[in-house]
Structure 1
Amino acid sequence: MLKHLLRSAAVAVLAAGPLAAQTTNSGTDKFAQLGPELPTPNTYRTASGAPGSQYWQQRADYNIQVKLDDEKQAITGSEDITYTNLSPDVLTYLWVQLDQNILDKTSITQATEVGELSDKMSFRGLEYLMNSDFDGGFKISEVKLKGGKALPHVINHTMMRIDLPTPLRPKQAVTFSIKWSYNINDQLKINQRSGYEYFPEDKNYLYEIAQFYPRMAVYSDFQGWQHKQFLGNGEFALPFGDYRVSITAPADHVVGATGVLQNPGDVLSATQRQRLEKAKNTKTPVLIVTEQEAEAAEQKRAKGTKTWTYAAKNVRDFAWASSRKFIWDAMQIKQAGKPVMCMSYYPKEGNPLWGKYSTEVVAHTIKTYSKFTIDYEYPVAISVHGPVGGMEYPMLCFNGGRPEKDGTYSANTKYGMISVIIHEVGHNFFPMIINSDERQWTWMDEGLNTFVQYLTEQEWERNYPSRRGEPKLIVDYMRTGKNVQTPIMTNSESVLQFGPNAYAKPATGLNILRETILGRQLFDYAFKEYARRWAYKHPEPADFFRTMEDASGTDLDWFWRGWFYTTDHTDLAIEGVKWYTIDSKNPEIENARKRELLNAAPKTLSEQRNLQDIKRTLVDDKPQLNDFYNAYDPLAATEADKKRYQDYVAKLTPEQQQRLNSGLHFYEVSLKNLGGLTMPVVVQMTYEDGKQEVVNIPAEIWRKNNAQVTKVFITEKPVVSFVLDPFLETADTDLSNNAYPNRTAPSRFELFEQQQRQQQNPMQQQTSMQKLEQKPAGTSSGGTN
């Protein structure tokens, strides 16, 4: 019907001819279902993405005694592990993780590291090479069954197999003990997830201790034992259990840890206990150990030791921190009616930044993540400042971000610190509660966590400078060559460009899902449902993909396939636009329009010159040469023309007559998918009167032709421009082809001196100016006159 009513406006065609006909791709269909890529649903994991009726998972409970040697920077420990087999399988051996063996002299990680030497090397780089002989691996001195019988065991780098004397049948448990020791690494020389920092000014150490005990590996319905070697990137897969951990440290150390302190009367003063009680009823953090008290402890060394005992229920791991330098503050909040003690431990070197922000950030993170996922159910949440830049454990995390020695700091330092605390505290949800397999899939914890981190940052401060989450922030990465990218669905140890791939890209994808594809209402419900279903369980990628589809009621296989399984990028382009209006058939209207277009048409160069050079033509001089056609106006409507129009209209229905005279504008927009990644088409139309309209076309527009389509837009007013992705929603890597007519955006180049002085941060600059202004008149700022 349309082709009979449309006519092309001769001088209003804005582009070349139409694109090729839309036909189904002969290659891989980007809208094919994720069949072979996902595991077959079963009674353990359903097709909806929920745990099945026979879902099971193992349990490991720990009783640990550990001692910190502050003179030798070493750990000694012993543990009793009770392992309960809740699987339907009979187990003849168990696998235990020895992650500290990444620092063993025979470490696979060190043996397989690659690198290059250069003409110039930093001292830190040299120190790293020369510290490669540091021996920080576990020294296992004993593995025994409860009752004292030695258990045969084999150590395979970061994994240890323990052979059981009798098979462990379903619903049975076994208790065994391990004794071990190891040397703690200097975190500033050997950068790991755990270690110490030495402060030469006061000759003290600050310890952040994790992966400090042999830990049970996961045995699951999905893959059996998860015993991939720990090489550095792929973090940890761990079962849930209850922990009781006794930490013996120097008597003047303050020890913070996963869980709840069981013996405050033995390790805290009466004043400290009173302050902790006060922290339960305040809206701002209360100092449990003040900066002055911490400084006094730095100078006056107490003799002897104290043992701090912590207990934690239903957690997958345990970590702790210890130092006489710690300032300690706390503030209790209520989450879903339950108290959560938010706390921070930090040396004086962290102030004023840490005392002002850390615990407030912890509380904000717990509240915001609970809103977007599930309510936080653990009793504490702790942020520790020390040598580790950022690392997460249940209820406790290690975070960087330190001001200058004069107490000033840059905006980057401030927001970097707030962001890392949000990120690491947020890991309580992913993967400490929603317990994905980090050894295999980094994106399932880092990517999902980075996404909610972005949401939390935006609720901290208006226009917070988030580094990840917004589609525009990942464009540079998406532009890089496919030879230096890997799909998100790549094992953690094989990922290229780890930060962009495992953190930013999945987080950005979820933001696109939330804002552009599903909308906030559908997305937020589905995301919370995933968290609810898999809280305190072991989800796999298929469980996430299926739950998001199941709870949103939307087929998203095309999105998972493109964003997670390929290295395609978004580059949608407007190839051309054609403008049509309806021919009304009314000779008076149509002929007047033709006359207007004719008069508006530009004169050719010859026509312009002829007007100047030919003063008079022959017909001008001899009017007798004129005839009928010299006076004939082909655009004048004749009575015959009007009669034909009236006869035509008389045959139309009232609805057809209304459509004929509607004055609508039709635009045929030719679109191409140059980047290969299927995305919704977000189009902004600007009308002749300056007003704008945005149309969001679902990605299914590409379902019959993944590479090129045409779309007709019908408007009441003339459109002067079309722009794709006007709000930068889809991480489009080339905006130069997104507009019609084309727009040219200016770029910039920067001028600089050959050698630039190191700049002070703005806070330092202002402080320096204030000091100068406060100087008495006549004093010099330095130098000689």
Structure 2
Amino acid sequence: MKLKYYIISTLVLILFIFRGYSQSTAELFMTKELKKSYQNKTRDMSGKPGINYWQNRADYSIKAEIIPEERAIKGKEIISYFNKSNDSLKVLFINLYQDIYKKGTARDWDIGPEDITDGVNISSLKINNISIDLGSTAVFHNASIMGVNLKNKINPKSTNTIEIQWSFKLPALRNIRMGTYNKTNFMVAYWYPKVAVYDDIYSWNTIPYVGNCEFYNNFGSFDVEITAPENFILWSSGLLQNTDELFTKNIQKRIEKAQSSDEIIHVINADDRKENNFMNKNTSHIWKFKAENLTDFAFAASDTYLWDATSIAVGNKRIWINTVYKSTSPDFPKVAKIAQNTIDFFSNKTPAIAYPFPQITIFNGSGGMEFPGMVNDGDSKELTGTLYVTSHEIGHSYFPFYTGLNEQKYAWMDEGLITYIPQKFVAKYTDDTNFILFSNIIKSYNNLAGSSSEIPLMISSTNAGQAYRFHAYNRSSVAFYMLDQYLGNDKFNNCLQAFSLRWNGKHPTPFDFFFTFNEIAGEDLAWFWKPWFFDLGYADLAIEVQNSKLFSVRNKGGFPVPIHFTVEFKDGSVENFNEKASIWKDGNTTYKMQFDKKEIRSVKLDTKLTPDAFPGDNFYNE
């Protein structure tokens, strides 16, 4: 142990007890798979993609039909799969996400017996014009993953064609991020067979979808046609291409007005639904959508929901906003305006990058779930709840979709950021006079920090088990809050923006995030990354008074957090002191303060806005 002494005034002597260490971010623990990517120069320790970076791509042409009375989807697709790697692929993996509902499938999410199905029925599969015998030993399954051992390998730098016909039934009651609402309203996601990701780190991603952990998908374009019954309206991740074929002139005018105005337009109101006169008489009821450079494609269908629309100018374009909801929703009539404000916030404040998609549709379903260009949200009784869930889910447009994050391994990268950042948005627009910025994420962290429900963030989210929610949302959001507090809002935003722009349309890892922040911030932040992201530990400071003129703040939990404390002296005077989290960067464990002319009456750590897992030792009173 060593001692350092700092005199900051004639009255105060500050001492630090520390264990000296020096470690750079490059020296932090890195798995052998990640090390290989830096050795191969597909990634760079500047935080940028390496000179040899590559990624594969899958473009989809889909024709499907929704049959509401059967809760059924059937379709066929042609996938153009681009193998941009230098590797020959002897096996192909395809995600069948709806197999989470299949009888006998392993899952970590409760599903009632009424929602158990036969999963995805693949009736036909061709790879590069060669029909695959689906009953052969070449085809195998692991939960929601289907693998095909290939007789003819997929060559490096090649374009390949995959043709699939499939069908499945939507769940009736238990909705995992999507599903059926009041029998004829559907949020349809994870509905088509998808080629799994083959990347520069792990090769094939063969982690199945079993409930808790979310997704990791290729970027691609989508050309989608969906046939629906009369009186059903569809919305999707893409832009509708045949408005004039589907809707009457009156509805077309409303849509055009919404797309060119900040005004909230009631495209389909209660009278329209009652009169049922909004569709063209001679329409084929085929809904045609297109989308570019997305990681997924979802759609919604309803024969009862109302539809509001508007738009907002972002740079030299307008973003089309749609909200579709049941007539009894207490808060959805406000959501279009909230969505406008949300897009403005993310486009101009944090990360200050123009909203990345041409449209967003917020569907009134349940819970809160994000898809590229779409959101599935339940009702909220209070404005604060509506503000938060709307901004949180729209915020996911950046993380994971704009930046292509691997949610299965690193759920905290998107959930942590998009739990933290919307707090600032809510504070601006809430009508709750008791709302205290960041207090709720600190409270959630304090409740479980240091418990068996906590594991280090760099442990894969798939291994988090019961600790998943704390791992993905709580510890990570507080870590980003502490980082923002240390760097300052402007520098934090600059770092986050640089990371987002560097990795737009690509697949970053936590180290790409760490290295980018180091470079843009102008310092190696290993002292912060290691405890908050790699170590067991927690935020916990304690007051320890040695005598009437000397006290210490001990970092019992080991995590770097700022120190805010108030000292009351026996002469009645009061002084406030503040130290940044970097006070602990050299491995200091104790911060000591000695007064040579005044005697201490009380010392209090202010932890209202600083995490502290054990606050009982934050106060001393003579």
Distance 1:684 1:31 in 2: 33
Structure 1 residues 161 and 692, CA gap change in structure 2 (3 angstroms)? same
Distance 2:437 2:536 in 1: 21
**CA apart distance, 1:713:** 6.0
Tell me the alpha carbon deviations over residues 433-456 of structure 1, each in whole angstroms, 9 at most, x when there is no partner: 111111112111211211222222
Match of 2:615 in 1: 735
Bigger mean CA offset, 489-498 vs 52-61: 489-498
Match of 2:19 among 24, 29, 32: 24
Contact kept, 8 Å, 2:531 with 2:559, in 1: the verdict is: yes
Distance 2:89 2:506 in 1: 21
Match of 2:66 among 65, 68, 72: 68
Tell me if 1:502 matches 2:486: no
Task: Write the mapping of 1:224-239 to structure 2, written as runs, cut at 5 A.
Answer: 224-239=203-218
Contact kept, 8 Å, 2:245 with 2:283, in 1: the verdict is: no
Match of 1:312 in 2: 291
Task: Please give the secondary structure, in 2, of the residue aligned with 1:431.
Answer: helix
Structure 1 residues 196 and 45, CA gap change in structure 2 (3 angstroms)? same
Bigger mean CA offset, 41-50 vs 265-274: 41-50
Tell me the alpha carbon deviations over residues 386-442 of structure 1, each in whole angstroms, 9 at most, x when there is no partner: 2x321111111111016xxxxxxx43xx43233222111111111111111111121
Match of 1:174 among 127, 148, 160: 160
Distance 1:561 1:220 in 2: 26
| Letter paired with 2:562 | P
Task: Please give the secondary structure, in 2, of the residue aligned with 1:682.
Answer: strand
Task: Please give the secondary structure, in 2, of the residue aligned with 1:432.
Answer: helix
For structure 2, list consecutive stretches of 5 or more residues without a partner in the other structure. none
Tell me the alpha carbon deviations over residues 298-331 of structure 1, each in whole angstroms, 9 at most, x when there is no partner: 9x9x999611010000111000000111211111
Distance 1:266 1:313 in 2: 22
Tell me if 1:131 matches 2:129: no
**CA apart distance, 1:378:** 1.5
State the identity as a percent: 28
**CA apart distance, 1:690:** 4.7
Bigger mean CA offset, 539-548 vs 29-38: 29-38
Tell me if 1:325 matches 2:304: yes
Match of 2:345 in 1: 368
Structure 1 residues 669 and 378, CA gap change in structure 2 (3 angstroms)? same
Match of 1:452 among 404, 421, 428: 421
**CA apart distance, 1:729:** 3.5
Distance 2:506 2:188 in 1: 25
Distance 1:222 1:435 in 2: 14
Tell me if 1:473 matches 2:458: no
**CA apart distance, 1:102:** 0.7
Bigger mean CA offset, 240-249 vs 226-235: 226-235
Match of 1:539 in 2: 508
Tell me if 1:193 matches 2:163: no
Match of 1:342 in 2: 321
| Letter paired with 2:205 | Q
Task: Write the mapping of 1:247-262 to structure 2, written as runs, cut at 5 A.
Answer: 247-262=226-241
Contact kept, 8 Å, 1:474 with 1:731, in 2: the verdict is: no
Distance 1:733 1:719 in 2: 26
Match of 2:370 in 1: 392
Contact kept, 8 Å, 1:78 with 1:179, in 2: the verdict is: yes
TM-score, L = length of structure 2: 0.88
Match of 2:191 among 192, 202, 212: 212
Tell me if 1:564 matches 2:559: no
Contact kept, 8 Å, 1:285 with 1:329, in 2: the verdict is: yes
Contact kept, 8 Å, 1:436 with 1:538, in 2: the verdict is: yes
Contact kept, 8 Å, 2:98 with 2:191, in 1: the verdict is: yes
Match of 1:143 among 98, 103, 125: 125
Contact kept, 8 Å, 2:384 with 2:430, in 1: the verdict is: no
Tell me if 1:86 matches 2:69: no
Task: Write the mapping of 1:647-666 to structure 2, written as runs, cut at 5 A.
Answer: none
Task: Write the mapping of 1:506-545 to structure 2, written as runs, cut at 5 A.
Answer: 506-515=476-485, 517-545=486-514
Match of 2:566 among 670, 684, 707: 684
**CA apart distance, 1:669:** 2.9
Distance 1:90 1:24 in 2: 50
Match of 1:55 among 17, 36, 53: 53
TM-score, L = length of structure 1: 0.71
For structure 1, list consecutive stretches of 5 or more residues without a partner in the other structure. 115-127, 199-203, 403-409, 580-666, 743-785
Match of 1:490 in 2: 459
Match of 2:551 in 1: 669
Give RMSD over aligned pairs.
3.2
Contact kept, 8 Å, 1:512 with 1:729, in 2: the verdict is: no
**CA apart distance, 1:469:** 6.7
Bigger mean CA offset, 414-423 vs 253-262: 414-423
Match of 2:243 among 258, 261, 264: 264
Distance 1:36 1:702 in 2: 15
Structure 1 residues 395 and 737, CA gap change in structure 2 (3 angstroms)? same
Contact kept, 8 Å, 2:170 with 2:179, in 1: the verdict is: yes
Structure 1 residues 182 and 704, CA gap change in structure 2 (3 angstroms)? closer
| Letter paired with 1:196 | T
**CA apart distance, 1:53:** 1.6
Task: Please give the secondary structure, in 1, of the residue aligned with 2:427.
Answer: helix
Tell me the alpha carbon deviations over residues 480-505 of structure 1, each in whole angstroms, 9 at most, x when there is no partner: x5323222223223323433331122
| Letter paired with 2:515 | R
Structure 1 residues 30 and 295, CA gap change in structure 2 (3 angstroms)? farther
**CA apart distance, 1:366:** 1.5
Match of 1:35 in 2: 27
**CA apart distance, 1:31:** 6.5
| Letter paired with 2:343 | I
Task: Please give the secondary structure, in 2, of the residue aligned with 1:349.
Answer: coil
Contact kept, 8 Å, 1:577 with 1:740, in 2: the verdict is: no
Contact kept, 8 Å, 2:384 with 2:432, in 1: the verdict is: no
Contact kept, 8 Å, 2:109 with 2:211, in 1: the verdict is: no
Tell me the alpha carbon deviations over residues 40-88 of structure 1, each in whole angstroms, 9 at most, x when there is no partner: 3341111122111221111100000110112211110110000001112
Contact kept, 8 Å, 2:18 with 2:587, in 1: the verdict is: yes
Contact kept, 8 Å, 2:178 with 2:188, in 1: the verdict is: yes
Task: Write the mapping of 1:374-773 to structure 2, written as runs, cut at 5 A.
Answer: 374-386=353-365, 388-401=366-379, 410-411=381-382, 414-461=383-430, 465=435, 472-479=442-449, 482-495=451-464, 496-515=466-485, 517-576=486-545, 578=547, 668-686=550-568, 688=571, 690=573, 692-701=575-584, 703-706=586-589, 708-712=590-594, 721-724=602-605, 726=606, 728-741=608-621
Contact kept, 8 Å, 2:445 with 2:478, in 1: the verdict is: no
**CA apart distance, 1:170:** 2.8
Tell me the alpha carbon deviations over residues 78-130 of structure 1, each in whole angstroms, 9 at most, x when there is no partner: 10000001112222222111111111112011xx779xxxxxxxxxxxxx554
Task: Please give the secondary structure, in 2, of the residue aligned with 1:313.
Answer: strand
Distance 1:57 1:466 in 2: 43
Contact kept, 8 Å, 1:454 with 1:469, in 2: the verdict is: no
| Letter paired with 2:472 | A
Task: Please give the secondary structure, in 2, of the residue aligned with 1:192.
Answer: coil
Tell me the alpha carbon deviations over residues 214-256 of structure 1, each in whole angstroms, 9 at most, x when there is no partner: 0111111111111112111111110111101101111210100
Structure 1 residues 227 and 734, CA gap change in structure 2 (3 angstroms)? same
Distance 1:45 1:219 in 2: 16
Match of 1:585 in 2: none
Distance 1:430 1:673 in 2: 33
Structure 1 residues 178 and 354, CA gap change in structure 2 (3 angstroms)? same
